[in-house]
């Protein structure tokens, strides 16, 4: 039986119960990148679904973020299947691999135990097996279990963290994906078969390896591997903290909440951060630095961090003076615009770097300087009579997204600079094979803060996020390895506290909005966490910058 339906604005006639995969195959020539998913009546679907009634279809490719996420998730499953095959052939089956965190454009992975000696030869065998599986174009099958069935399955297969995780979920079912005889659990959709997964690489790195994959901006090219060593070691340190606290998976965090020990965990985590900040202050004093430059991506907690660092510096006898680079924005009429005609506040040209440098040079020379304040409402720089003069015990704590960019400070004395990169680098994993994106953590922080302090809806914040991320890629991340110190502002408990704040904001996004799918994804992700109140968060916590109640003016 034939029926009519609309595919991307074009009406076509198809046979009833035709799969989306078949329709995508017929439509692929009209797309630059590979189709991996589809919206059916604005509902995201995998391509194995069959069409049984007239609908509207929009295809999703690997050149879009949702499609790229699906591709990367599917390649991770492919890698795990290939490792299982190779290790079984070499008599080392049942060895666990942990997908740890992002490195360069890929995912850093390690073996759970040290029984497997990871060598370039082994990686080459696994990569060859991955390529063979792609050539075979095996189906990626999906099986739906009830939660009790899934928990029993995970118990039988030694995946205890997945079983503990499902214990706290309020959904009825869990999806297991299979390639051949290998099964695993992932919280997101998959490509329909291994034949779609043509672009990847395996790179030996540190104690593990990196699964390198394309990004959505260039979905057919494997990016060059750039080992950000400083960032990598901060991530490793954060993971060690999680293991030391016995909270390195979401299920462990939920266990702490159920046992009533979350207050203690909050205090210990805050104490660890405070010790880290105190150590940074001590290093600044030892090295006799006078220009403290702080930079980091959106929602890193730069402002709260600069206040806490200033307090530690005061405790060591110095007199810190905060300077926000935002106060040196050019007037709105002189602000550059991006390719879409919107103001580009992220680029260097949006800041009057010359005036900033001159002000700092005058301060270092002992002159009194009239300091600016930027009026964001009027879009102009103002001078309200605030002056500053510094002496030998004074230090300037300079904070802004361009703080580490050499163009911002090139004429200032290098021997006086101390550079700090701050970001929220989530140390939790959902489970052994499902990591938590640090970008998601920062987006959640920003949605909550923007709703509270700027009157922005979650929909508006999500709509701007790609532009914010682009600015970070161009203006912040290239300079992160220039830092003398990296500071991780993520708190191991924060997502369970942020959950009650953000859920109403995300639920407010209408179904027909372009941002709805991102809101739905975040809500599904947050469903893994038990929520807790914020009353036990210290008033000087970086998290207070986002949920409110900070003792600092942030």
153: confidence class by pLDDT, cuts 50, 70, 90 = confident
pLDDT at 135 over 80: yes
* Interval 224-252: pLDDT, tens: 998 888 999 898 888 888 888 889 899 99
pTM: 0.91
Class of domain 67-227: alpha beta
In this prediction, residue 331 has a pLDDT band, given cuts at 50, 70 and 90, of: very high
pLDDT band at 114, cuts 50/70/90? low
Q: What share of the chain is helix, strand, coil (3-state, %, to 5)?
A: 45, 20, 35
Domain spans in the chain, listed from the N-terminal domain onward: 2-61, 67-227, 230-547
pLDDT band at 152 (very low <50, low <70, confident <90, very high): confident
Mean pLDDT for the stretch of residues 110-137 = 91
The rounded mean pLDDT for the chain is 92
CA triple 351-353-357, angle to 5 deg: 150
pLDDT digits 0-9 by tens, 171-224: 778 889 999 999 998 888 999 999 999 999 999 999 899 999 999 999 999 999
The band of 170, judged by pLDDT with boundaries at 50, 70 and 90, is confident
**pLDDT tens, residue by residue, 428-460:** 888 888 888 899 999 999 999 999 998 899 999
d(CA 151, CA 224): 40
Residue for token pair 């991340």: 477
Confidence of residue 20 (pLDDT cuts 50, 70, 90): very high
C-alpha to C-alpha distance for 296 and 18, rounded to whole angstroms:
49
Half-sphere exposure of 536 (CA within 13 A, CB side): 18
Q: Concatenated DSSP letters for 111-169?
A: ESSSSS---HHHHHHHHHHHHHHHHHT-B-EEEEEEHHHHHHHHHHTT-HHHHHHHHT-
Distance from C-alpha of 497 to C-alpha of 544, rounded to nearest angstrom: 11
* pLDDT cut 70: percent of the chain above it: 99
Give the residue, 162 or 552, on which the prediction is more confident. 552
Contacting residues for 15 by C-beta, under 8 A, at least 6 apart: 1, 2, 3
Burial (CB < 10 A; 0-12, 13-18, 19+), residue 221, is exposed
**Can you give the pLDDT at residue 352?**
96
Query: How far apart are alpha carbons 46 and 54 in whole angstroms?
Result: 17
Question: Is residue 290's pLDDT more than 90?
Answer: yes
What's the average model confidence in pLDDT over 477-481? 93
Average of pLDDT values for 326-350? Answer: 90
**Backbone angle region of 418, left / alpha / beta, with phi > 0 → left and psi within -120 to 50 → alpha:** beta
What tokens does 258 get? 């159920």
SS3 category, 449: helix
pLDDT value at position 403?
Answer: 94
Q: Phi and psi dihedrals of 98, rounded to 5?
A: -105, 130
Q: Is the pLDDT of residue 515 over 90?
A: yes
Phi-psi region of 549 (alpha: psi -120 to 50; beta: other; left: phi over 0): left
Mean pLDDT of 272-285: 97
Q: Is 301 strand, coil or helix?
A: coil
**Whether residue 159 has pLDDT greater than 80:** no
pLDDT in tens, 399-420: 998 999 999 999 999 999 999 9
What is the b/e burial string over 144-161, where b = at least 16 CB atoms within 10 angstroms of the residue's CB?
A: ebebeebbebbeeeebeb
8 Å CB contact between 532 and 497: yes
- The CATH class of the 2-61 domain is alpha beta
Alpha carbon distance, N-terminus to C-terminus of the chain? 63
**Cβ(478)–Cβ(531) under 8 Å?**
no
Q: Which CATH number fits domain 230-547: 3.40.50.300, 3.90.1300.10, 2.60.40.10, 3.30.590.10?
A: 3.40.50.300
Predicted pLDDT at 182 = 93
CB 392 within 8 A of CB 444: no
User: Do the beta carbons of residue 180 and residue 206 sit within 8 Å?
Assistant: no
Tell me: pLDDT of 338 over 70: yes
Mean pLDDT of 8-33: 90
Whole-angstrom distance, CA of residue 401 vs CA of residue 54: 50
Tens of pLDDT, residue by residue over 461-474, are 999 998 888 889 88
CA distance 116 to 118: 6
Contact 501, 547 (CB under 8 A): yes
- Cα 245-249-252 angle, rounded to 5 deg: 65
- The residue ranking higher by pLDDT, 553 or 448, is 448
pLDDT at 421 over 80: yes
Q: Which of 207, 249, 215, 197 is nearest to 79 (CA)?
A: 197
Same fold, 67-227 and 230-547: no
């Amino acid at each position: 039986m034939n029926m009519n339906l609309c595919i991307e604005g074009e009406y076509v006639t198809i046979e009833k119960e035709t799969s989306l995969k078949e329709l995508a195959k017929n439509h692929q020539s009209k797309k630059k990148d590979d189709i991996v998913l589809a919206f059916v009546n604005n509902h995201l679907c995998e391509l194995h679904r069959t069409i049984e009634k007239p609908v509207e279809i929009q295809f999703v490719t690997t050149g879009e973020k949702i499609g790229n996420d699906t591709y990367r998730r599917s390649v991770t499953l492919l890698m795990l299947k290939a490792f299982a095959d190779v290790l079984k052939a070499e008599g080392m089956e049942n060895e666990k691999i942990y997908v740890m965190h992002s490195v360069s454009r890929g995912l850093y992975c390690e073996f759970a135990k040290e029984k497997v000696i990871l060598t370039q030869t082994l990686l080459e065998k696994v990569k060859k097996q991955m390529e063979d599986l792609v050539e075979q174009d095996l189906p990626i099958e999906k099986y739906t279990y009830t939660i009790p069935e899934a928990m029993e399955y995970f118990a039988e297969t030694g995946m205890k963290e997945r079983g503990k995780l499902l214990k706290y979920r309020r959904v009825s079912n869990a999806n297991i994906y299979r390639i051949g005889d290998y099964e695993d659990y992932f919280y997101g959709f998959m490509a329909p078969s291994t034949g779609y997964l043509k672009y990847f690489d395996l790179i030996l790195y540190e104690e593990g390896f990196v699964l390198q994959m394309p990004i959505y901006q260039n979905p057919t090219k494997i990016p060059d591997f750039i080992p950000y060593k400083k960032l990598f070691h901060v991530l490793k340190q954060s993971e060690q903290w999680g293991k030391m606290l016995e909270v390195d998976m979401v299920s462990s965090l939920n266990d702490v909440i159920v046992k009533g020990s979350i207050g203690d965990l909050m205090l210990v985590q805050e104490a660890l951060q405070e010790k880290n900040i105190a150590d940074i202050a001590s290093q600044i004093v030892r090295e006799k630095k006078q220009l403290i430059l702080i930079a980091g991506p959106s929602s890193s907690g730069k402002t709260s961090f600069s206040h806490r660092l200033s307090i530690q510096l005061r405790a060591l006898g110095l007199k810190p003076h905060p300077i926000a680079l935002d106060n040196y924005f050019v007037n709105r009429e002189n602000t550059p615009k991006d390719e879409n005609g919107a103001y580009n506040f992220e680029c260097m040209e949006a800041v009057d770097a010359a005036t900033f440098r001159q002000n700092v040079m005058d301060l270092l020379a002992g002159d009194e300087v009239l300091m600016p304040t930027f009026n964001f409402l009027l879009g102009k720089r103002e001078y309200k009579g605030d002056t500053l003069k510094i002496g030998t015990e004074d230090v300037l704590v300079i904070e802004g997204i361009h703080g580490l960019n050499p163009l911002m400070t090139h004429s200032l004395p290098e021997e006086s600079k101390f550079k700090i990169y701050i970001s929220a680098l989530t140390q939790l994993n959902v489970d052994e094979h499902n990591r938590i994106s640090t970008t998601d953590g920062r987006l959640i922080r920003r949605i909550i803060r923007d709703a509270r302090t700027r009157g922005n809806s979650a929909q508006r914040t999500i709509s701007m996020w790609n532009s914010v991320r682009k600015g970070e890629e161009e203006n912040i991340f290239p300079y992160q390895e220039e830092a003398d110190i990296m500071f991780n502002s993520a708190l191991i408990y924060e997502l369970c506290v942020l959950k009650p704040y953000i859920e109403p904001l995300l639920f407010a996004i209408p179904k027909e909005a372009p941002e709805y799918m991102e809101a739905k994804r975040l809500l599904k992700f947050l469903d893994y966490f038990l929520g807790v109140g914020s009353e036990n968060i210290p008033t000087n916590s970086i998290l207070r910058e986002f949920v409110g109640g900070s003792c600092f003016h942030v």
